[in-house]
Amino acid sequence: MRGRLFFTAISLLAGTLLAAQSFNTFPVTTQKPPLHGRHWMAITGKPLAATAGSMIFIKGGNAVDAACAMLAATCTMWDVLSWGGETQALIYNPKTGQVIGINALGVAPTGATPEFFREKGMKYPPQYGALAAVTPGTPGGLLVMLAEYGTMSLKEVLAPAMQMAEGYPMEAQTANAIEREKELIRQWPYSAEVFLTHPGEKREAPYPGEIFAQRNLLVTLQKLVDAEQDALKAGKSRNDAIYAAYNRFYRGDIAEEFVRGCREQGGLITREDLANWQVKIETPLSVNYRGIDVYKLQQWTQGPVMLQALNILENFDLKSMGYNSARYTHTVYQALNLAFADRDFYYGDPYFPPEEPVRGLLSKDYARERSKLIRFDRNDPGAGPGDPYPFEGKTNPFRHLLDSWGAAEPYTPVSDQYYRDFTAGTTSIEADDEEGWVVSVTPSGGWIPACIAGKTGVGMSQRMQSFVLDERENPFNVVAPGKRPRVTLTPSMALKDGKPYLSFAKQAGDEQDQLLLQFFLNMVEFDMTVQEACESPGFITNQMFSSFGDHEKKPGSLILNDLTPPWVRKELGMMGYSLSFRPRTSGPVNAIYFDRKNSSFWGGSSNHGEDYGIGW
């Protein structure tokens, strides 16, 4: 491993030097080894799910097939998401040389209006329960990706997940999350039946290692496979047969039971909502940063935040500042705050009016103007959205809302509950193959405590909470029936000289783009390996409005790694930051680096969480 420094446990001096070096250049050791592969690579949030991807590769599937198998497995394992959540992906197609966006985010159901929630005394849609659900997107996203870009049958791709639904040994992270949330789970009869395997006992959740079976979910998955196989027997093509499974989920008996179970528990989703919803295949957004083309999904995600921040940071010599120095941390933090302020005001569903000013937001000229707002002596807790409309040759129709937007709130300490909400849910999936297919997915929704829709075994999304009810907060993201909420979910891809360079993603809500940005800069500016970049201590801002719960923000809040040297802490404190510290601040990021010199793949995964992968 490059630059490895060996030291003994008794060498306090060497340990001190290592800590110092890690904040001035880059970490010289990693806790996990990098993955290597020549033919394929499969990385995701659970080792068993990565194994599911490897099983598909071994059977001859491509990276899309494997990604779909990993998606199905992670949903079945309740890896901070479930089958009723949402899926968003970037796919590099080697046949066309293009990056494709998959928008499989559900929409607000019939009756979901600001007035509806206000009449219930709510400032935002709720965090949990059937009323928090948008229409399920993950089944549709998986089926469309498989039909359009995969090679295998649905029966083959779902086989590992179906084996898991028959029963798999539950890992401690999920088992303990169920126990922690059992009071909420007990409110929903279908959830209690599935999750509370020891009702009435002191511990009602499964024990780590206990075989966890999901009979109803298995029946639902079998119905999808049956629909495909019946269509193939009737002479339908592979593509049409997979869409027969799609129709059964969204328009057939699965939809009927899903809607019945949702509405029985107070939800709003109708049969028409499911039947009318569609997966969107999109052209992603991109910017060029120092010769590297970076791709993100459109503004229904927070993905353009990273693109905006890169445009701003291109105006500074980051490398000369030193890795994780106070000046570097401050500069990146300020760029992120400016981009996140634009996110909080301008991002929303591009299929609903008003039209977001994306061309202006991603303008290099706009970024140069925003970069001039960065003060190098202290933090700006009142950083707000700019006006990108002139950079499109237009007048801002919401100018009257900007002056009073998001006034800085008094700082309060970051609580454990706030932090859990801030980082809620999600996993990431990375896959590639020797033919050149590359897939980056950030699926989410239906995390524990999940409200299960009837006898489907499918946990419903909790994504409604990401809407706002008042246009003064964000005129583009006000809840309306049929509209997508602006979500935090943000897979990433980068091309260099027209070829895949990096595929990367992470879980954890509003943290995603800020730590993905730092991961990317670790490699591009500081020449780290992909594993070093994944593990390197990052820093986290809470200055934007949270996308969850009560949509709080913590101006001036800066979370640093426990290893941050005292001189960096002191300098940042003098700049007006309210500092807190955590032992893990690197992700979890999952990534694949494409080594063109050696015609091989490097896989990386952060040194916390259960994320990891397999390469061959």
Residue 131 lies in a domain: yes
- Please tell me which of 13-27, 86-100, 401-415 the model is most confident about, judged by mean pLDDT: 86-100
Shared domain for 246 and 377, answered yes or no, is no
CATH number, position 603: 1.10.246.130
Shared domain for 383 and 461, answered yes or no, is no
Give the mean model confidence (pLDDT) for residues 548-561: 80
Distance CA 62, CA 432 (A): 8
Residue 310 lies in a domain: yes
Which pLDDT band, with edges at 50, 70 and 90, does 565 fall under?
Answer: very high
Residue 418 lies in a domain: yes
Using the predicted structure, report yes or no on whether residue 66 has a pLDDT greater than 50: yes
Shared domain for 364 and 498, answered yes or no, is yes
Give the pLDDT confidence of 6-44 residue by residue, as tens digits: 322 323 223 333 333 344 444 457 888 889 999 999 999
* CA dihedral of 61, 64, 65, 67, whole degrees rounded to 10: 120
Shared domain for 236 and 293, answered yes or no, is no
Give residue 419's pLDDT: 47
Residue 550 lies in a domain: yes
Give the mean model confidence (pLDDT) for residues 189-209: 97
Shared domain for 240 and 340, answered yes or no, is no
Shared domain for 287 and 262, answered yes or no, is no
* Structural domains counted in the chain: 2
- Mean residue pLDDT of the chain comes to 90
Q: Which domain holds residue 189?
A: 47-85+102-280+445-466
Using the predicted structure, report yes or no on whether residue 61 has a pLDDT greater than 80: yes
Query: Where does a domain end: 403, 433, 466?
Result: 466
Shared domain for 184 and 133, answered yes or no, is yes
Give the pLDDT confidence of 382-400 residue by residue, as tens digits: 889 999 999 999 999 999 9
Give residue 426's pLDDT: 66
The residue that leads in pLDDT, 273 or 514, is 273
Least confident of 307-311, 418-422, 527-531, 588-592: 418-422
Residue 438 lies in a domain: no
Shared domain for 267 and 254, answered yes or no, is yes
Shared domain for 276 and 297, answered yes or no, is no
CB 428 within 8 A of CB 490: no
Distance CA 350, CA 136 (A): 19
Using the predicted structure, report yes or no on whether residue 412 has a pLDDT greater than 60: no
Give residue 9's pLDDT: 30
Distance CA 76, CA 71 (A): 9
Which pLDDT band, with edges at 50, 70 and 90, does 217 fall under?
Answer: very high
Least confident of 67-76, 397-406, 569-578: 397-406
CB 384 within 8 A of CB 405: yes
Of the candidates 516, 567, 586, 495, the residue with the CA atom closest to the CA atom of residue 336: 516
Query: Where does a domain end: 437, 466, 495?
Result: 466
Residue 431 lies in a domain: no
Residue 156 lies in a domain: yes
Whole-angstrom CA distances from 304 to 183, 298, 358, 359, 369 are 38, 7, 9, 11, 17
**What is the distance of C-alpha 133 from the center of its chain?**
18
Give the mean model confidence (pLDDT) for residues 111-134: 96
Query: Where does a domain end: 466, 495, 527?
Result: 466
Shared domain for 262 and 171, answered yes or no, is yes
Whole-angstrom CA distances from 505 to 467, 490, 529, 587 are 23, 7, 16, 9
Give residue 126's pLDDT: 95
Shared domain for 539 and 588, answered yes or no, is yes
Q: Which amino acid is at 28?
A: V
Using the predicted structure, report yes or no on whether residue 421 has a pLDDT greater than 60: no
Least confident of 78-82, 338-342, 424-428, 498-502: 424-428
Residue 208 lies in a domain: yes
Distance CA 448, CA 426 (A): 11
Shared domain for 114 and 232, answered yes or no, is yes
